[in-house]
Amino acid sequence: MQIAIALYERFTALDAVGPFQTLGGVPGAEVVLVAERTGPVRDDTGRLALVADKTFDEVPRPDVLVVPGGPGQSDQMENEALLGWLRAADATTTWTTSVCTGSLALAAAGLLDGRTATSHWLALGELERLGVRPSQERVVFDGKYVTAAGVSSGIDMGLALVGRIAGDERAQTVQLMAEYDPQPPYDAGSPGKAPAHLVAMLRDRSRFSAARSA
């Protein structure tokens, strides 16, 4: 089973590494980081680079496809190298997935038309504008399309998917090895729980006008 994680300039690091760390636990899985070109790809802070080991052309038929999000996503929504690869690869995937604003690329590629999906909470309005039914669930399964909410939710998605692919015991083993027994020191991880003025501040700063008016 080949699992391809797509990289592009200004992706968010944890969006890619959460699913990497969990989905890698599928027995026999070959996980590969892919991009338009091989070599280092910088994240949205400019301070971290992950190496793309294969080009999109070299990985035409992954079984599982993962698109992380990040501010760079806005440039990607008109990047035919990525969108074309997503459409072609999706034709034969078992699972097509995204974390955070990665769902905007899936939507821009036309793969989520009329489906229910999620995204970073600040991008749910944009997702709806692209013809997708937005969900506020953390991980959304709609057929073979699995979308996760913002950044860290890719860990939950990865575990859920390991369970579907390789069974509950395997997923529990992955969770135990990753010691994923989360104990956040604050309870501010979603807009319904965080202090209202912080939610408002982030909405004001957001690049998604649709999210601002939502």
163 near a copy of itself (CB under 8 A): yes
Q: How many CA atoms lie within 13 A of 180 on its CB side?
A: 20
Closest CA to 122 of 3, 213, 8: 213
Q: Alpha-carbon distance 11 to 32, whole Å? A: 16
Q: Residue 111: which residues within 8 A CB-CB, separation 6 or more?
A: 86, 87, 90, 96, 145
* Long-range pairs, 204-207, Cβ under 8 A, ≥24: 206/122, 207/71, 207/74
Beta carbon of residue 178, minimum distance to a copy of itself (angstroms, whole number): 4
Residue count, binding to a copy of itself (CB under 8 A) = 63
Phi (first) and psi of residue 159, to 5 degrees: -65, -45
191 near a copy of itself (CB under 8 A): yes
71 near a copy of itself (CB under 8 A): no
Near a copy of itself by CB under 8 A, which window of 15-23, 74-82, 88-96, 106-114? 15-23
211 near a copy of itself (CB under 8 A): no
108 near a copy of itself (CB under 8 A): no
User: Measured from the CB atom, is 83 or 103 closer to a copy of itself?
Assistant: 103
User: Measured from the CB atom, is 3 or 112 closer to a copy of itself?
Assistant: 3
Q: In which region does residue 176 sit, left (phi positive, over 0), alpha (psi from -120 to 50) or beta (all else)?
A: alpha
- Is there a catalytic annotation at residue 100? yes
Contact 117, 107 (CB under 8 A): yes
Q: Binders of a copy of itself among 28-67, rule CB under 8 A? A: 30-33, 40, 45, 47-51, 53
Give the footprint of a copy of itself on this chain (CB under 8 A).
12-14, 17-18, 20-21, 24, 30-33, 40, 45, 47-51, 53, 100, 120-121, 138-139, 149-153, 155-156, 159-160, 163, 168-169, 171-173, 175-186, 188-191, 193-195, 198-199, 201-202
